[in-house]
Structure 1
Amino acid sequence: MRRPLAALAAGVLLFAASACGSSEGSGDASSGLTTVKVGVIPIVDVAPLYLGQHKGFFEARGLKLSMMLAQGGAAIVPGVTSGQFPFGFSNVTSLLVARSRGVPVRAVAHGIASTGVPGKDFSGLLVKKGSALTSPKELEGRKVAVNALKNINETAVRESVRKDGGDPDRVRFVELAFDQMPAALGQGQIDAAQVVEPALSTIKAQGGVEIADPLVDVAPKLTVAMYFTSERYAAQHPDIVREFQAATAESLAYADAHPAEVRQIIGTYTKVPAAVLDRVTLPKWPAHANRASIEALARLSVRDGLFTTSPDLDKLLP
């Protein structure tokens, strides 16, 4: 299996090849705005950022966002720390792993949280229609897809298997992008998939069955992801960081209060059909991180060998 450090290295190469220009915040003489690049994953989670851009929340604070797409947080972390772009969206596990290895990342704004409600979360562990598998412990010896090995979704699935009385070490985890999981599951290339929206609704529309809610199993209302920067960028550009924080907070609050507009904006940066978007379960976008849930995730990360000692959360969290 690929280790977290290898994923970080791969991410550096990915963004070195795909990013261009300075990430320090380039000015646009015609608009008077400062353009900042943000590493994101094209999933429901980042809808508030797109919506905030559309509503003018960032422009009102002198910023114009340029979205840089990646498969997961493990690839976005090195994009930020190497200076390819100043901000990124990453799951909490990738940030914990980075800090445990001395990588100077710091969260600046909340990202998303699980709904905390079994059967009504924006994420789930699914099997295809007609599968004989009905519970997490039955995944022993089976092939389960996650978007990144040795990361938050693998940790979450392992906890679901563990709580169900199974041995997570016997599960065969494979790495696959979220948007590739519906087809792979339907064609029998994998036995189960740990997905987030909109892949969750896509698989359910194909008759897929949810057998667990791994993010809910980790902790109640788990803080799943956050927006972050590097300590270097934060020190050199405190004004831009402050404006980004304020605009992101406004975007999160607006998204939480306007689900219909969230669904509309998702259709502008994903290829999800409108009929599927109507069924999408939205995550929660609270203003602040749930520290207790992050501590629980850190303990599981130690148990699963992602790092030996939990990093100092005071140095990571805003």
Structure 2
Amino acid sequence: MTLFSRRRWLAQTSLAAASMALPTLGRAQSPVKIKFQMDWRVDGQSAPFYYSLAKGYFEKEGLDVSFDVGAGSAMAVNRLASGSYDMGYGDVNALIEFFGSGAPAVARPQAVYQTLDQTPAGVMVLTKSGVTAPAGLAGKTLGAPVFDAGRKLWPLFAKVQGLPVDAVKWQSMDPGLREVMLVRGDVDGVTGFQPSGLISAIAAGAKEEDLRVFLYKDFGVNVYGNAILATSKFIAEQPQAVAAFLRAYNKGLKEVIANPEEGVAIVRQREPLVNAAVEVRRLKGLIDVCIVSPTTRAQGLGEADMARLEKQIDDVSTAFNLKSKPTAATLFNPAFLPSKRDRMLA
């Protein structure tokens, strides 16, 4: 048995014991309130959360969950760290950056369910730009908000592609103007989550055949994306509530993967102005690109491989020039995951 195999066996054994030891919430007692910080506004990508809420899965687990929209993963991580929220949803890379920067935390956030097996970050250009490969981005101007995950991960993407970090110029912009400015030709390309950005560019007037996307995951950047987070304070005080939340969410996520149209129908109940067809495509794209993968089909949803996570921490810490590196065990806590049987895809 190799060192990593032994560690993995020990971790799984400990996880099984811990999950059996976790008490369940009593149905007779008052529901546990959870303040949950989302990473973004209400759209198709957030369907698993609102679907689980509408179906009563949180309520059946003895939880009273309230969701607040967000403005990026960095904000979500910081709000959890401040103690303002109990749980949230954000990019693991933003969590690595938070720990590595040495920022103070009232309540340390920790990932407890790895939703996105790959980052959806990428660069999008117009085909008329003549950029046919990442090397062609050198000397171009890219646009993105300063907090954009694709922009933050650019140094890692550039390193893998053999490009200097300063090979491109950056123009900061509001998220709502990103694809509009690309279509107008104000910038040569934009970074962001895909295929969400592609869909927004089409809505801004571009034709799909006039757009080209370089997904980081397709060009050597093998990093996890968004995960469900919980604060150290909430984990210590309400461990059974963390486990209950993940059971409810896991059930909803699997059902939304099987039926994205119903998931978006529930999103429209919360945000009637969204376009159902657009959001179904946005959700399906996220599922196909980042959630359902050979790894999640083999190992189930929600789990993070600790060896892969350690490598991600090394790569991101170097690319971001961080002061220190967290360990994988600091970053991800598997103790509250539903059983592997419940996390397996059909």
TM-score of the superposed pair, with normalisation by structure 2: 0.70
Identify the structure with the greater helix proportion.
Answer: 2
Aligned to 2:276: 274
**In structure 2, what is the Cα distance between the partners aligned to 1:178 and 1:215?**
22
Aligned to 1:289: 304
Aligned to 1:230: 231
- State the one-letter code of the partner of 1:97: E
**In structure 2, what is the Cα distance between the partners aligned to 1:269 and 1:44?**
10
Given the superposition, is the C-alpha separation of residues 135 and 249 from structure 1 closer, same or farther in structure 2, using an over 3 Å criterion?
same
Aligned to 2:114: 110
**In structure 2, what is the Cα distance between the partners aligned to 1:292 and 1:203?**
37
**In structure 1, what is the Cα distance between the partners aligned to 2:307 and 2:254?**
22
Where do 5+ consecutive residues of structure 2 fail to align? 1-28, 293-300, 334-346
Q: Superposition RMSD on alpha carbons, in Å?
A: 2.9
- State the one-letter code of the partner of 2:88: G
- State the one-letter code of the partner of 2:191: Q
Point out the more displaced range, 187-196 or 66-75: 187-196
Alignment of 1:230-249 (within 5 A): 230-249=231-250
Q: Deviations along 1:109-147, whole A, 9 cap, x unmatched?
A: 2232338xxxxxx55421136333333222223222344
Aligned to 2:166: 169
- Identity, % of aligned positions: 21
Q: Aligned to 1:314, which of 310, 325, 329?
A: 329
**In structure 2, what is the Cα distance between the partners aligned to 1:81 and 1:91?**
14
- State the one-letter code of the partner of 1:81: A
TM-score of the superposed pair, with normalisation by structure 1: 0.76
2:225 match: secondary structure? strand
Q: Aligned to 2:315, which of 273, 285, 300?
A: 300
2:142 match: secondary structure? strand
2:132 match: secondary structure? coil
Contact map agreement 2:36 2:88 (CA 8 A) in 1: yes
Q: Aligned to 1:185, which of 175, 182, 193?
A: 182
Aligned to 1:5: none
Contact map agreement 1:125 1:157 (CA 8 A) in 2: no
Aligned to 1:63: 63
Aligned to 2:51: 51
Identify the structure with the greater strand proportion.
Answer: 1
Distance apart, 1:155 and its partner CA: 4.6
- State the one-letter code of the partner of 1:201: I
Contact map agreement 1:58 1:244 (CA 8 A) in 2: yes
Q: Deviations along 1:137-163, whole A, 9 cap, x unmatched?
A: 2222322234444x7423543444444
Aligned to 1:140: 138
Q: Deviations along 1:180-208, whole A, 9 cap, x unmatched?
A: 32212122332211222433222246224
Where do 5+ consecutive residues of structure 1 fail to align? 1-30, 116-121
2:115 match: secondary structure? strand
**Is 1:198 matched with 2:200?**
no
Larger radius of gyration between Structure 1 and Structure 2: 2
Distance apart, 1:292 and its partner CA: 4.4
Given the superposition, is the C-alpha separation of residues 270 and 234 from structure 1 closer, same or farther in structure 2, using an over 3 Å criterion?
farther
1:260 match: secondary structure? helix
Given the superposition, is the C-alpha separation of residues 179 and 291 from structure 1 closer, same or farther in structure 2, using an over 3 Å criterion?
farther
Given the superposition, is the C-alpha separation of residues 89 and 177 from structure 1 closer, same or farther in structure 2, using an over 3 Å criterion?
farther
**In structure 2, what is the Cα distance between the partners aligned to 1:51 and 1:162?**
39
Aligned to 2:11: none
**In structure 2, what is the Cα distance between the partners aligned to 1:227 and 1:177?**
25
- State the one-letter code of the partner of 1:214: Y
